[in-house]
């Protein structure tokens, strides 16, 4: 009987692995398995995923809370979040009951953790990860008296490209730009999709001069790129603008730094686009 339970539990886990956030069919399958094959599906499922023992009633309550957490995560992130992502986030971050999670499908677990912090389109870190990482970088810089810089990058006139070439072409462009961003920075740097056609890069232990050099190189690289049907863009090429803010000179807190980088980004656009700007405070 135990072997039979493990088999169907793995079937459910495999289904959860295909869950991209549209979970209606997944949940129907979970409920169907529960009705047909066992009176302990929830406890078996949670034990299989996170190696935690609960009675069936307790496990069912946790499962319902996971589904509520999924809705909350989806609302905060502005996109659908899969059940498996919500379940792991629930037990690791909210309940904090997992010390050394034991997962039957280790590859699935690693993919699940990665999907919780990465953008589904570009593969860059997502907005949630960026916010957490920026908090950590501010605290680290304060503790050790260090500097770091933040780049805020936006694709110039992206609406023109998207509206003319279509949303699929627009997505392809964002993916290609993401590749260029990753090539331009170090492994220690955190490159994220902030939202839409806007990106951020956190540059640890990097002062303004170095950050401006990196941002300028990114602008030049993208402007020199050859993207599909870029002739529809002003000047016949795809370009980006960037705002460069540095801690602590441009902001002693996360909010101040973000505000400065955002203002500098739009200053770069106002000055003609296709450039990086980094003077937040008038001399």
Residues annotated as catalytic (active site), given as ranges: 197
Q: Would you say 221 and 180 are in contact if contact means Cβ atoms under 8 Å apart? A: yes
Residues with Cβ < 8 Å from 219, sequence gap 6 or more?
239, 240, 241, 242, 274, 275, 276
Q: For residue 281, give both structure tokens.
A: 């405070």
- Cα→Cα distances 143→138, 139, 140, 248, Å: 9, 6, 5, 12
- Cα→Cα distances 32→28, 39, 225, Å: 6, 12, 52
Q: For residue 16, give both structure tokens.
A: 């959860």
Task: Give dist(CA 208, CA 260) in Å, integer.
Answer: 13
Looking at the chain, which runs of residues are DSSP E strands? 148-155, 190-195, 198-204, 240-247, 276-277
Residue from 244, 247, 251, 253 nearest 279 by CA: 244
Residues with Cβ < 8 Å from 258, sequence gap 6 or more?
134, 150, 152, 245, 251
Q: Which run of H or of E encompasses 28?
A: helix 24-37
Q: What is the dihedral of CA 247, 250, 256, 260, to 10 degrees?
A: -120
Task: Give dist(CA 240, CA 157) in Å, integer.
Answer: 9
Q: For residue 20, give both structure tokens.
A: 């991209």
């Amino acid at each position: 009987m135990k072997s039979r339970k493990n088999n169907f539990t793995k079937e459910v886990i495999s289904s959860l692995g295909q869950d991209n956030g549209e979970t209606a069919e997944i949940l129907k399958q979970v409920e169907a398995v529960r009705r047909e094959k066992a009176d302990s599906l929830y406890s078996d499922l949670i034990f299989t995923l996170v190696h935690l023992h609960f009675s069936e009633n307790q496990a069912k309550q946790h499962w319902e809370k996971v589904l509520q957490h999924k809705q909350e995560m989806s609302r905060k992130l502005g996109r659908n979040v899969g059940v498996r992502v919500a379940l792991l986030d629930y037990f690791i971050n909210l309940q904090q009951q997992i010390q050394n999670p034991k997962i039957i499908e280790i590859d699935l677990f690693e993919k699940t953790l990665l999907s919780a912090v990465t953008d589904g389109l570009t593969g860059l870190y997502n907005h949630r990860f960026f916010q957490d990482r920026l908090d950590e970088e501010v605290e680290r810089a304060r503790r050790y008296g260090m500097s770091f810089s933040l780049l805020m990058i936006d694709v110039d006139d992206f609406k023109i490209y998207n509206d003319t070439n279509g949303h699929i072409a627009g997505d392809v462009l964002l993916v290609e730009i993401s590749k260029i961003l990753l090539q331009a920075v170090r492994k220690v740097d955190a490159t994220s999709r902030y939202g839409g056609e806007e990106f951020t890069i956190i540059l640890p232990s990097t002062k303004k001069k170095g950050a401006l050099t990196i941002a300028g190189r990114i602008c030049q690289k993208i402007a020199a790129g050859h993207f599909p049907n870029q002739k529809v863009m002003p000047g016949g090429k795809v370009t980006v603008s960037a705002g460069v803010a540095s801690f602590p000179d441009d902001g002693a807190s996360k909010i101040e730094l973000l505000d400065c980088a955002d203002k500098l980004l739009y200053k770069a656009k106002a000055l003609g686009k296709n450039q990086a700007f980094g003077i937040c405070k008038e001399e």
